[in-house]
Every structure is written in structure tokens, then in C-alpha cells.
Amino acid sequence: AQTVTQSQPEMSVQEAETVTLSCTYDTSESDYYLFWYKQPPSRQMILVIRQEAYKQQNATENRFSVNFQKAAKSFSLKISDSQLGDAAMYFCAYRPLNDYKLSFGAGTTVTVRA
Amino acid sequence: NAGVTQTPKFRVLKTGQSMTLLCAQDMNHEYMYWYRQDPGMGLRLIHYSVGEGTTAKGEVPDGYNVSRLKKQNFLLGLESAAPSQTSVYFCASSSWTGTNYGYTFGSGTRLTVV
């Protein structure tokens, strides 16, 4: 069963604009971690941002921010002031507190138009 | 540079051949993982290890074996390769101590089985 769902296979954004990627997850746990990873054409998996479920404050990293809605089990990523270098596949991932395995969504390909 | 190193980066196998993928990390991480990445499916966990001498099955273990004889190395074996094992394979390690916790990924191995 798919634990993490990314419903947008592809998203396109104009340079300097904002794009939001959606992610929902299924869990009965109350404590867990959520991640967004970026995978450019180089294949390298790059951590964009992470969120601990016990923290109510949404995580931010420069132009990247999340909207974490625990009750709705939603974890969206907002990329502000999009740059050409943001073009990549983005994966949402989930890890329960009592386990070390990371479960991934299917990914969203982001294209940035100049 | 410190991190996770995978060898080889590319490989073509004939159906029925065997091979071993090597993963090495120099960060003294306890936990190591093997994932495969297929289009539209994200990364799926094959096997993982929670310490030297231990291994466990992940989501898609059939057709693969692993060994972790040394803490820094995690080997993934294909005894009799099948075309369905054509994929990109990622190794990762993780640490959950201190404030800089999370996963570190290798750069991937593209395997084609013909």
C-alpha cells in the first residue's frame, strides 16, 4: 500500500514565480518525520527540507517552505522565486519515529520556464 | 569527500548473469539501505541493515540478496538477473544522533538487464 502520495506527476512554473507541490501520507502514528528531496538530472538525491511532526511550526529553508497540516496528513512544498536550477524531480518522503525506513512518493517533475 | 560511494555507476547484464553492487560510507552510520528507482514509482526499499552483521527485507526484496560484513560496506547481489531488475539503484545511510540527522544517498547505479 502506498504510504506517500504525490498527485501531480508534472508541474511547470515561470522563472521567478511560485509553485506548490502537494504530498499526502497515510499513517496511524503520531510522531514521524517528513522530507522533501530534490533529484536533478545528475541523479543525486538532495535534501530540500525536513519536518518533525511534533513541531507545529512549518519548516523553511531559504526559498523553500512547507505547509504541514497534521490532521489532514498533508505536507506541501512551496518553491518561491523559482530559478532555472530548481528544475528537477521532487520526492516527498515519510519516516515513522519508531522505524528507520524511508518511504517515498512517486515524485513530481518540476519544469522552470525562462 | 565524506559520503556514500556506489560502484559501479553503470552496468549492462545479460539475463541470468550475476553481479554485486558495492556501497561504502565513511560517516560511521549504523543504518544502511538499498533502494531501486523506477519511472512513476519513486524509490522502493529493497533491503536494509540496522548494524554490522544484520540485514532485513524491505518492500521489494525478491531476486536480491545483501550482506553487511563490515559497518562501512553494504553489498547488494543479483544472483540471476532478470529484465525486471533493470532500474537505477541507490544506496543510502542514515544517522539519527545530534542535530544534523537524516539520510545520505549515493549517486546511483544504472543497471540494464538485456
**Residue B61 cell numbers, joined:** 526484496
Q: Which residue has the cell 500500500?
A: A1
Tell if the CB–CB gap between A102 and B108 is shorter than 8 Å.
Answer: no
pLDDT at A16: 97
Tell if the CB–CB gap between A47 and B94 is shorter than 8 Å.
Answer: no
Residue A106 to residues A69, B26, B39, B64, B103: CA-CA distances in angstroms? 20, 29, 8, 22, 18
Q: Which residues of B touch A6 (CB under 8 A)?
A: 42
pLDDT at A2: 55
Residues constituting chain A: 114
Contact A78, A18 (CB under 8 A): yes
Tell if the CB–CB gap between A45 and B88 is shorter than 8 Å.
Answer: no
Most A CBs within 10 A among B103, B104, B109, B110, hence the mutation to make, goes to B103
The answer to whether residue B59 scores a pLDDT higher than 60 is yes
Q: What is the tens place of the pLDDT at every residue in B62-111? A: 999 999 999 999 999 999 999 999 999 999 999 877 666 789 999 999 99
Cα-trace Rg, chain B: 14
Q: What is the tens place of the pLDDT at every residue in B4-35? A: 999 999 999 999 999 999 999 999 999 999 99
Comparing CB atoms, the residue among A35, A50, A104 nearest residue B42 is A104
Tell me the one-letter amino acid at B30: E
The answer to whether residue B54 scores a pLDDT higher than 90 is yes
Q: Which residues of A touch B92 (CB under 8 A)?
A: 45, 102
Comparing CB atoms, the residue among B45, B90, B96 nearest residue A45 is B90
Q: What is the tens place of the pLDDT at every residue in A6-61? A: 999 999 999 999 999 999 999 999 999 999 999 999 999 999 999 999 988 999 99
Confidence band for A100, pLDDT divided at 50, 70 and 90: confident
* Gap from A81 CA to chain B (nearest CA, Å): 26
Is B102 near chain A, with CB under 8 Å?
yes
Contact A3, A105 (CB under 8 A): no
pLDDT at B95: 85
Over residues A84-110, mean pLDDT = 94
Beta bridge partners of A94: A34, A103
Tell if the CB–CB gap between B45 and A42 is shorter than 8 Å.
Answer: no
pLDDT at A94: 96
Q: Smallest Cα–Cα separation from B65: which of B53, B54, B77?
A: B77
**CA-CA distance, B13 to B111, in Å (whole number)?**
8
The answer to whether residue A110 scores a pLDDT higher than 80 is yes
* Gap from A6 CA to chain B (nearest CA, Å): 10
Contact A24, A75 (CB under 8 A): yes
**CA-CA distance, B97 to B77, in Å (whole number)?**
30
pLDDT at B101: 76
Tell if the CB–CB gap between A101 and B96 is shorter than 8 Å.
Answer: no
| Closest residue on chain A to B89 (Cα) | A43
Alpha-carbon dihedral sign for residues B79, B7, B36, A70: positive
